[in-house]
Structure 1
Amino acid sequence: MASVHNEPVVVLGLGRFGSSLALELASRGTEVLGIDINSKIVDALAGRLTNVATADCTDGEALRQLGVPEFQRAVVAIGTDLEASVLTTVLLTDLGISHIWAKALNRRHAEILSRVGAHHVVLPEQHMGERIAHLLSGRMLDYVEVDQDFAMIKTKPPRDIVGVPLRESRLRSRYGVTVVAVKSEALGAKARFGYATADTVLMYGDLILVVGTVGDLERFAESD
């Protein structure tokens, strides 16, 4: 039996977001059924996805004929048509899909999708904008929000925590953040991230992964 991570996925809406997601899943060995109302888009993806079909995603009977109720994971990737996005999510809920992911255009759209049955809602444009803003505004080298107001960043250590064991840096009390991993510059090209411990001593040039609330991470990244 396939693991849950390799179960088939149906992607409804094959615009830029949906097609990119579907193709990435397929490249990772996941069976994908892609559905879109635009036959030209479907024809362009034929042969690149396991299965692809032209259909109205708001047509419950069409979804049944395509075998959508047999899937446990679905992604509503419909673009600017909010009504179609919401109706499709409702249909998937009625069909008993266990895990429904849905793309939202804004916070209000996200709230509606959650209320009608989406288990996971993503705002790709907003999340990317927030990520780039964080990378441009400080010493962060990467930024990933893992939950509401909680994130992980990749950065270099400020000088006030260099050369002392992490237990003596008082990071948690001073900034409210925790260093969870470090890549040592001293190891050069062979360096890999490893778990940080209370005895870890950071050096200039090291890369660290730090977790905490967004506000605390911003304050930490601005420290010198």
Structure 2
Amino acid sequence: MARKPIDHRIVVLGLGRFGGSLAAELVRRGWEVTGIDANPQVVQTYADQLTHTAIANTTDEESLRQLGVSDMTHAVVGIGTDLEASILTTSLLADLGVPKIWAKAVNRQHARILERVGAHHVVLPEHEMGERVAHLVTGHILNFIAFEDDYALVKARAPEEAINKTLADSGLRSKYGITVVSIKRPGEPFTYATADTTVYSGDILIVAGRTSEVETFASLT
């Protein structure tokens, strides 16, 4: 059965720092982006960068319908400081039947409300970036990505105890509860790791597992 092609049209409502930069990046990635904001000056800033732009009140259902928002399969609510507008806009998108709604939240309470009114995905940019940077600053982690249910991916240097051994022989999984999913040799691209993969000095590992376990593993280096 052929895979259904992805509809690369998206509407970004609210072109502040988060929404504007996201919209511009999506255009660079080949998406057809409609940017909507109530501020004419903000819209003018992005007029030449985005596929379409419009000045409109995102909490007005008729305006959204006229702009074709109800036909979109993807929407991002980038409104942050005006919580009422953020919540009402998200609720309207849900009422219009947009299948995939992403929304920015400024705190966890805001995030819970957005989920209740119809957001399928909620992001807390400041919180998530702060958490990520904290891991980079305070430990030996080279990169950190957190997921739901206390699960994370980290990029870390290979520990001494794994050097010149295969992953099976080093027993990293049984000792630390983590899984090495990818490995990078100096000057080479990342490759998938298997039980027979030998780890050498200078290798960089991508490791998956519970947050506390990957943090413990990263501290070995």
Return the TM-score normalized by structure 2: 0.95
The residue that corresponds to 1:32 in the other structure is 33
Q: Deviations over 1:164-202 (max 9, x none)?
A: 1111222122111011111113xxx3x111111111111
Q: CA deviation at 1:117?
A: 0.6
The residue that corresponds to 2:70 in the other structure is 69
State the 4+ residue runs in structure 1 displaced beyond 6 angstroms.
none
Runs of at least 5 residues in structure 1 that lack an aligned partner in the other structure: none
The residue that corresponds to 2:161 in the other structure is 160
Query: Quick one: which amino acid aligns to residue 212 of structure 2?
Result: G
Q: Deviations over 1:120-157 (max 9, x none)?
A: 00011111001101111111111112333111111111
Matches within 5 A, 1:24-63: 24-63=25-64
The residue that corresponds to 1:111 in the other structure is 112
The residue that corresponds to 2:212 in the other structure is 215
Q: CA deviation at 1:2?
A: 8.3
Q: Using the alignment, how far apart are the partners of 1:142 and 1:91 within structure 2? A: 37
Aligned residues: 219
Q: Using the alignment, how far apart are the partners of 1:192 and 1:73 within structure 2? A: 33
Query: Quick one: which amino acid aligns to residue 216 of structure 1?
Result: E
Q: Using the alignment, how far apart are the partners of 2:32 and 2:163 within structure 1? A: 48
| Aligned CA-pair RMSD | 1.4
Within the candidate set 195, 203, 207, 1:206 is matched to 203
Query: Quick one: which amino acid aligns to residue 102 of structure 1?
Result: A
Aligned to 1:139, the other structure's residue is in SS state: coil
Runs of at least 5 residues in structure 2 that lack an aligned partner in the other structure: none
Aligned to 1:136, the other structure's residue is in SS state: helix
The residue that corresponds to 1:18 in the other structure is 19
Aligned to 2:15, the other structure's residue is in SS state: coil
Matches within 5 A, 1:56-205: 56-185=57-186, 189=187, 191-205=188-202
Q: Using the alignment, how far apart are the partners of 2:201 and 2:136 within structure 1? A: 20
Q: Using the alignment, how far apart are the partners of 1:89 and 1:147 within structure 2? A: 22
Q: Using the alignment, how far apart are the partners of 2:211 and 2:23 within structure 1? A: 31
Q: Sequence identity of aligned pairs in percent?
A: 53
Query: Quick one: which amino acid aligns to residue 5 of structure 2?
Result: S
Q: Using the alignment, how far apart are the partners of 1:28 and 1:173 within structure 2? A: 40
Question: 1:3 aligned to 2:8?
Answer: no
Q: Using the alignment, how far apart are the partners of 2:220 and 2:4 within structure 1? A: 47
Q: Using the alignment, how far apart are the partners of 1:208 and 1:192 within structure 2? A: 12
